[in-house]
Amino acid sequence: MVDSDVRLRFGTLPITVEAVLDKIELPVREVLALVPGSVLMTKRNETDGLLIYAGEVAIAYGQPSGPEAKRSVSVTELFTEE
Predicted local confidence at residue 1, as pLDDT: 57
Could you list the pLDDT tens digit for every one of the 82 residues in the chain? 567 888 888 889 999 999 998 889 999 999 999 999 999 998 887 778 899 999 999 999 998 887 765 788 899 999 987 6
* Span between the terminal Cα atoms of the chain, in Å: 12
Decide if 6 is inside a domain. Answer: no
CATH of the domain at 73: 2.30.330.10
Number of compact structural domains in the chain:
1
Predicted local confidence at residue 82, as pLDDT: 62
Q: What is the dihedral of CA 64, 16, 9, 75, to 10 degrees?
A: 10
CB 73 within 8 Å of CB 19: yes
**What is the distance between the alpha carbons of residues 28 and 47, in angstroms, rounded to a whole number?**
29
Predicted local confidence at residue 68, as pLDDT: 67
Decide if 73 is inside a domain. Answer: yes
CB 65 within 8 Å of CB 74: yes
